[in-house]
Structure 1
Amino acid sequence: MNRILKMIGLSSFLAAMTSSCNSMDPVLTSEFTDATFWESTANADQLVNMAYNQMYSADKMWNDEALSDNIFEGRSPTNQRLIRNGLANPTNTLFASEWADAYRGLKTCHVFLANVNRISDATEDWKEIRSAEIRFIRAFIYFRLVNFFGDVPFFTSDITVSEAGNINRTPKANILTFIHEELSNISSRLPNRNELANSDRGRITKGAVLALQARAYLYESNWQKTADYCDSLMQKQEIYGNYSLLKNYEDIFQPANEYNEEVILDYGYVSNAKTWNKLYDAAPLSAGARLNAYAPVQELANNYLTINGLPINSDPTYSENNPYVNRDPRMGATIVFHGGQWTNLSGETRTIYIKPGTGSNDTERSDEYAGANSNASPTGYYVKKYYDHTGTQDFSSGLNVIMIRYADILLMYAEAQQQLGKLDANIWNQTIRAIRERAGFTAATALDFPTGMSTSNLTTLIRNERRSELALEGLRYFDIMRWKAGKTYLEGTVYGAKFANGNSDYIRLDNRRFDENRDYLWAVPSAQVDLNKNLLPNNPGYAN
């Protein structure tokens, strides 16, 4: 699909648009004509399901995370790595695929909305709910587009090939206004979490609509609106559904706890059918991983507080020579560090040895750091979050990927109130304290409101709390972009653990670069510019 939208027959479109890196997405064949396809809700529901699949995926989450300062991809010059090293240009294939994927998803939404009233066996209630779901997906896709590209082509119904070749870019602000209005309009037409049947778990709800409103306003730095929407979700659960923090942090990401009370919206997978296997190239090799192509970095490890609730450089009990003891328990639930624990598919729990010279047999030594070009981790860390204990030997997992969860609502609320100058002990206890208590902190220095802390230090505290709580969930890059903090977090040397030069120095990897005048937006892809010169000028810093 070279143009933004390609006017082709519905049956051909349905077959052509179902491509994915996952092992199974619903593929609609060409056995139906345009006249017969819309005869049943069963057919139309397949199109709705395809729109869900085009909205998000595990691939997108992990790629988004690789754009941030949490991850290093050392095996090859991936698109994300090129972007982070300041080497991206309009031919970058990630720019092209993100653009194309989005407009394919929008095509699906527009086809459904144009034809929903033709479905002969659909009730008005069914049409209203499914249309609201599709409109949410369309808003989500546009939100993703504008956060990557800024001004983009915008339309709310299908367009012709000629129109696609001549359309202009619509200002980001206008599209955001549409997103907010659209979300407001559909909220009342959807059920809340408590009203969903088990067979409908994973569908979009009132709570998801409210949460996306909050996230969109957060990214605009509209602090009052962010606080208002978060507060509504926290306080009006009789309207939006009952949400709360799950008791144990690590349990959030286990298959036995899918659709738990913390999950507001997730992207569904199915064991042995539709799966993903990113950890095959990110988990410890001794656990059966193939190699390491996706590794957490030292900067992420450093972000986790000591168990006293202090940064590592502020706690006299912290030692560089024994850095992983008495730390935020979320670190051990998110990344694998030297001396950390791993439970194999068989249920056996054992220690992982990453520091060179510490393994006692070939299996243990396979995880040891051996240089940037080895099969083992180039940073001295492995990924643990989202490890599926019920998966297969190649790490294929049917574990759902969480898009929005309640802890993020609490963190957004705390950040918005802090930016408004209203963060007090009561709000702190509702948000940061509650999150830290769930994580396993007990010290007063970790849990009590930091009275007297400066505004800038409190801003840093909240940003670091977001990083620790939400690491490897695909949100860090967007946080850095909205903070306009690219130079702070995405510039300079990438470090790994203190395993270089006989365990005396921190590993040094890429030297990342961030151009403040260019890198807050991606380039309009070259292939799109070739088809439509009205997309020019390109975003600042990119040659036309």
Structure 2
Amino acid sequence: MKIRNILAILTLGMVSCVGLEQFPTNSFTDENYWKYDENVRAALYLGYNQCWSHEYYFNNNLLSDDVYGSRHSPWGLLNVATGMANTTVERFSKEWNDCYQELRTLHTALDAEDRIDTGDPVFKTRMLAELRLMRAFTYLRLVTWFGDVPFYTTNPTLAESRVTPPTSAATIKQFIHEELAYAASILPKNTEIKDDERGRYTCGTAIAIKARAYLLDNDFENCAKECAKLINTTEYGTYALEEDYAKLFREQSCCYGPESIMTIEFATLDGINNIVRSWDGKSWLPQSIGNKGVTSQSPTQELVDAFLKLDGSVADDTDYISRDKRFYTTIAYNGCEVEIPEAMGLGLTGSEGKGKGTYIMYTNASQEEATGDKELYDSYNGSQDRTATGYYALKNFNPTMMNSGGNSYKSIMEIRFADILLMYAESKNELGEMSEEIWNQTIKPLRERAGFGEAYCAYPGGNDLRQVIRDERRVELALEGRRVFDLRRWAVLDNPSIKSTGTAILTSQATGAPFRSGESIICQNKYGLKYWFAIPQSERDINSNLPQNPGW
């Protein structure tokens, strides 16, 4: 697909070096560069390449109670989650630097608006709207994590960047909503996207991000209004739930189906052996099919327990039979069947021979040892090298779309229609407007898809549905990177002072399966996740006008 081909070329360009003694055979000035269609498209797709990544989608789970990290967790995330981080931790500087790098890329193209002249005004108008959507999305990342930040609508000079004070988050959020409204008025619907444009943002993407931005502020009235545009009308596209939940995370075609609203793309040049933009799930997949000895995150028992039995009852910790169908797509548990990625050429014995078919994964050490297969490395052993909880993740694992190195070349949905339904249900409930009609539009179809019977899918009534909706959101969107943002905003809803004091929003102790004499695994350190990210100390060293956030 076209978007991935161009992403591939851009990615190669960013990692290649050219000797200083070499000179280009063609040179561009700032004036004529923007008259060439390939240059303009390259700028657009570089914006896509930097806008959002699989890394954040997966690793933001480490900041929630859905998974527990290990010493292999990247960017100092385990320290951030457990409250042991300081202002120099990489997670803070990475978010800051990636966002401002993306803003520089976007502003370079937006500042050249008057010079873009490829003879295709329709493409130009659409491209500028896409860039403005990306800018709004990037600023949303910044204000969500950091609050007040330096704000630019054009590229600053180096001198300006070193003295610019922060702009209030409220002002930036108003800008975000204005930009998204503009993008929604320009961009095409999802039903108007050509096959070779799949992955590009639509007017529905703009509305969905707008709804998300309001939800992050607990502005339920405006969130409900934006969600209704995608649920009750086709003005901004036509969306629906995929019938089979598992297919959403296993089949590439579903990433462009009616449930998909915003995707994170991959890039290949010549098939699976030349993937230049992909994602690597080896550090949270079962280790026998992953990278032996480097587990970075493990699902918690708390998340496992959130998946109910199909009769609506709570299952025992290790009762994995007849659960919510979403459980089997999300969690690798002791005794489950796992497909082997044939391309990896693994040594373990599968149902179809060496390195082929399926195998039974055991995280209980005694059961794994009893198999006699020396290629199995999944069992809990108390170290930080394997699972910390007795569980691994499976969501978005497609063994047929992995190469010999274990890299996956499958698109991932950052926003899907199920999230819109959940945002709408929560907003309506918080506004005191939940009804059987709203329930039947939102929660009921999600539960029906998950395999629950008629009784559990029916509207329960009552005045206290808050926890019911929150629990539904947790299991539907599990391991999709949303849980930490929900915990932050729910904490503020219950205790508004958390925002001004910057105190911890998550302080519980994570647990795992009962693999030690029948007792549950107790994870090493308690959570201590603070509300705000710290302003990176390296940035404050450069710009003395940047104050530090509360709690740091």
TM-score by length of 2: 0.87
On the 8 A contact 1:410/1:431 being kept in 2, the answer is: yes
Report how far residue 363 of structure 1 moved. 4.8
Q: Which of 474, 489, 492 is equivalent to 2:481?
A: 474
On the 8 A contact 2:281/2:408 being kept in 1, the answer is: no
Number of aligned residue pairs: give it.
503
Q: Which of 319, 324, 327 is equivalent to 1:323?
A: 319
> CA 1:319 to 1:301, structure 2 compared with 1: closer, same or farther past 3 Å?
closer
Q: Which of 435, 460, 466 is equivalent to 1:450?
A: 460
Task: Determine the structure 1 residue equivalent to 2:52.
Answer: 56
On the 8 A contact 1:26/1:49 being kept in 2, the answer is: no
Task: Determine the structure 2 residue equivalent to 1:357.
Answer: 366
CA distance in 1 between counterparts of 2:471 and 2:299 reads 16
Q: Which of 22, 38, 41 is equivalent to 2:37?
A: 41
Q: Which of 51, 65, 69 is equivalent to 1:69?
A: 65
Aligned-partner residue type, residue 478 of structure 1: F
On the 8 A contact 1:265/1:405 being kept in 2, the answer is: yes
Alignment of 1:145-544 (within 5 A): 145-237=142-234, 239-254=235-250, 255-271=252-268, 272=272, 273-291=275-293, 292-310=295-313, 312=314, 318-320=315-317, 322-346=318-342, 348-359=357-368, 360-363=371-374, 365-373=376-384, 375-390=385-400, 391-444=402-455, 446-452=456-462, 454-455=463-464, 458-484=465-491, 490-500=506-516, 502=517, 504-514=518-528, 519-536=530-547, 538-542=548-552
CA distance in 2 between counterparts of 1:139 and 1:162 reads 24
Which whole-Å deviations, capped at 9, do the CAs of 1:480-509 have from their partners, x for residues lacking one?
Answer: 111126999721322111112x3x111111
> CA 1:214 to 1:26, structure 2 compared with 1: closer, same or farther past 3 Å?
farther
Which whole-Å deviations, capped at 9, do the CAs of 1:62-97 have from their partners, x for residues lacking one?
Answer: 121111111122234641110111112211111111
> CA 1:328 to 1:220, structure 2 compared with 1: closer, same or farther past 3 Å?
same
Aligned-partner residue type, residue 341 of structure 1: E
Which whole-Å deviations, capped at 9, do the CAs of 1:29-54 have from their partners, x for residues lacking one?
Answer: 88443334222121111111111111
CA distance in 2 between counterparts of 1:166 and 1:334 reads 46
On the 8 A contact 2:184/2:236 being kept in 1, the answer is: no
CA distance in 2 between counterparts of 1:541 and 1:293 reads 27
On the 8 A contact 2:150/2:167 being kept in 1, the answer is: yes
CA distance in 1 between counterparts of 2:62 and 2:29 reads 41
CA distance in 2 between counterparts of 1:319 and 1:496 reads 13
TM-score by length of 1: 0.88
On the 8 A contact 1:151/1:172 being kept in 2, the answer is: yes
CA distance in 1 between counterparts of 2:309 and 2:9 reads 40
SS in 1 for 2:323: coil
On the 8 A contact 1:85/1:510 being kept in 2, the answer is: no
> CA 1:26 to 1:333, structure 2 compared with 1: closer, same or farther past 3 Å?
same
Q: What's the % identity of the aligned pairs?
A: 34
CA distance in 2 between counterparts of 1:299 and 1:364 reads 30
Report how far residue 417 of structure 1 moved. 0.4
Report how far residue 248 of structure 1 moved. 0.5
Aligned-partner residue type, residue 330 of structure 1: R
Gaps of 5+ in 1: 1-19, 313-317
Report how far residue 294 of structure 1 moved. 2.0
Stretch deviating more after TM superposition (273-282 or 250-259): 273-282
Aligned-partner residue type, residue 448 of structure 1: A
Aligned-partner residue type, residue 488 of structure 2: M
Aligned-partner residue type, residue 356 of structure 1: A
Report how far residue 443 of structure 1 moved. 4.4
Aligned-partner residue type, residue 486 of structure 2: D
Aligned-partner residue type, residue 294 of structure 1: Q
CA distance in 2 between counterparts of 1:84 and 1:206 reads 35
CA distance in 2 between counterparts of 1:71 and 1:57 reads 19
SS in 2 for 1:159: coil
CA distance in 2 between counterparts of 1:471 and 1:201 reads 25
Gaps of 5+ in 2: 1-6, 19-23, 343-355, 493-497
Task: Determine the structure 1 residue equivalent to 2:351.
Answer: none
> CA 1:407 to 1:488, structure 2 compared with 1: closer, same or farther past 3 Å?
farther
CA distance in 2 between counterparts of 1:185 and 1:67 reads 33
Which whole-Å deviations, capped at 9, do the CAs of 1:383-419 have from their partners, x for residues lacking one?
Answer: 1001122212332111112111000000000000000
Q: What value does the CA root-mean-square deviation take over the aligned residues?
A: 2.2
On the 8 A contact 2:189/2:204 being kept in 1, the answer is: yes
CA distance in 1 between counterparts of 2:183 and 2:278 reads 31
CA distance in 1 between counterparts of 2:132 and 2:361 reads 46
CA distance in 2 between counterparts of 1:495 and 1:23 reads 44
CA distance in 2 between counterparts of 1:23 and 1:376 reads 36
Aligned-partner residue type, residue 462 of structure 1: I
> CA 1:97 to 1:488, structure 2 compared with 1: closer, same or farther past 3 Å?
closer
CA distance in 1 between counterparts of 2:478 and 2:29 reads 45
SS in 2 for 1:152: coil
SS in 2 for 1:209: helix
Report how far residue 279 of structure 1 moved. 1.8
Task: Determine the structure 1 residue equivalent to 2:4.
Answer: none
> CA 1:488 to 1:329, structure 2 compared with 1: closer, same or farther past 3 Å?
farther
On the 8 A contact 2:379/2:390 being kept in 1, the answer is: yes
Which whole-Å deviations, capped at 9, do the CAs of 1:301-352 have from their partners, x for residues lacking one?
Answer: 1111121123x2xxxxx434x4212211111100101122211224613322
CA distance in 2 between counterparts of 1:514 and 1:376 reads 23
Aligned-partner residue type, residue 13 of structure 2: V
> CA 1:441 to 1:393, structure 2 compared with 1: closer, same or farther past 3 Å?
farther
